[in-house]
Structure 1
Amino acid sequence: MAKLALGVVLAGAVFASAATQQVAARQATGAERCRVSNTSSHPAAKRPSFNFGNARIAVDLPEGARFAAVPDGSARGGWAVIQKDGLIRTKLGWFTIRGTPRVTGRRVDGTGRQLRSDVGPLSYSSSGPFYPSLLYFPSFGCWRVTAAAGGAHLSAIVNVTR
């Protein structure tokens, strides 16, 4: 009877260890499995600074749709900053034919809080009008960022990493 109980305990421990290793492997390779959106050179006519979207709504994403975050105050640059409160902040410019974009986001490779966004007023640069925005990711990982304005919609998969 004692041998049977010991066998059951050992089998349970082996199963739990294997399950833990599978979860750890999924988390470790999650960044590699994030199928990010492909950017292009000119999704919006006459607006080459916007590399993802269409003629009605577009955004300027980093190369490979990867936001490499660095600590706030770091001398080395990155597309995003890890704030002291733990949020990962980045700046993006949006092009829309009509209206201020409403930007939302959620994690696609895990659970957690939603993305927070602050979209500024219509601004102008030498390449034309755009809407500046700050996006606040609550965690690293694979994210779907969605924007809508004036009946146009856009969704991008991005990877937020260190």
Structure 2
Amino acid sequence: MVKGPKAVMLGGQMDPPARYAKAARHLKQVIEEAPGTPLTRTDLAAFGAPAFGAAFTAFGAGSRCRHIIAPGEKAQTNKSIPVQSPHVLFPDLTAFLLGGTIAKRYGGAEAPLCFCSACAGKLAPDTFTSNRGELPAAAAAHNVAVLMEWLRANGVDP
């Protein structure tokens, strides 16, 4: 009933695409049935949506900007996973993981160096193990660099 452009935003607690198996299929259906609809705050689904007719997509590099929480609700966190490290975009899995989680998965093995423009072969994804000092800013720079590389690889000039 409201005239003018509208956008679809993904809503839900924590990581909606991971928590709801049908989320990606339902987002695809919405975009196909209403071509030209913008899709924002949709986590990494933002990369596939234009192929199905979305006018544009957007999402934030920080977890607070990758989906919305219903009005009046307080954002929940997974209490079993203490957030003691920044979220890091791990290109090999096309997923955001906590830096501490990446470090644990490599265990004693040496993680491969990251060659994004921010890390420049000097840092590995398991480096971002703390929310102290310069690591959160370095992780954010890494996330943006990886996203920009993905865009350029797909013919988008950010």
Structure-1-length-normalised TM-score: 0.23
Which structure has the bigger radius of gyration? 1
Which protein, 1 or 2, shows the higher relative CO under an 8 Å CA cutoff with sep ≥ 6?
A: 1
Higher strand proportion:
1
Structure-2-length-normalised TM-score: 0.23
Higher helix proportion:
2
